[in-house]
Amino acid sequence: MENKSKENNMTLEFDAKSENESLARIAVASFLTEIDPTVEEINDIKTAVSEAVTNSIVHGYNEGPGKITLKCKLVCNQYEKQDTYTVSSFITIEIKDLGVGITNIEKAREPLFTTKPEFERSGMGFMFMEMFMDKVDVISEPGKGTTVIMEKKLKKVIEKNSIKSSQYNSKLMSHTNSKSIGLVNLKEKSGQRA
């Protein structure tokens, strides 16, 4: 039985503008492509990222100027057993602003609570983050900003007879950010080379 592990990290800083919410979603989705996540996994993570970034823009900076920092850490562990390969991946996403902060984190995490009812905010941001991620931590101090740390575990089991060992190892454990497994698979299926 052979075990392999690897780690990949990304940091992105952008202006606290609503049009950059989609940038954050796409950046995280692209960062995850090397592990070939399901569409459902990608959508869950993108939704959680969207909610955290929107909270920073709307509540942290009151839709004024500021910077948001997005950090991602992906750890992949590959385990080879007699008939299968198992890849257990763990993503940690940190979204940080230096805005007004949260005075009562527990209250802010309650469903339907919002500090901006006049803007028709639903107060569901933290609930969606918690629903789509395995763990959500919020660190905040009034006047100093807020950091949301979200974690999700992704697991993939592949039957050995469905893929050659050399293909598996090169695709799942050797990809860098410049080459995604999804792109490799699409081009191979269409007869092109990546």
Residue 121 appears among annotated catalytic residues: yes
Residue 55 appears among annotated catalytic residues: yes
Choosing from 20, 77, 109, 121, the catalytic residue is 121
Choosing from 8, 41, 55, 94, the catalytic residue is 55
Residue 51 appears among annotated catalytic residues: yes
The three-state DSSP-derived secondary structure of the chain is CCEEEEEEEEEEEEECCHHHHHHHHHHHHHHHHHHCCCHHHHHHHHHHHHHHHHHHHHHHCCCCCCEEEEEEEEEEEEEECCCEEEEEEEEEEEEEECCCCCCCHHHHCCCCCCCCHHHCCCCCHHHHHHHHCCEEEEEEECCCEEEEEEEEEEEEEEEHHHCCHHHHHHHHHCCCCCCCHHHHHHHHHCCCCC
Choosing from 21, 34, 41, 51, the catalytic residue is 51
What are the catalytic residues? Answer: 51, 55, 121
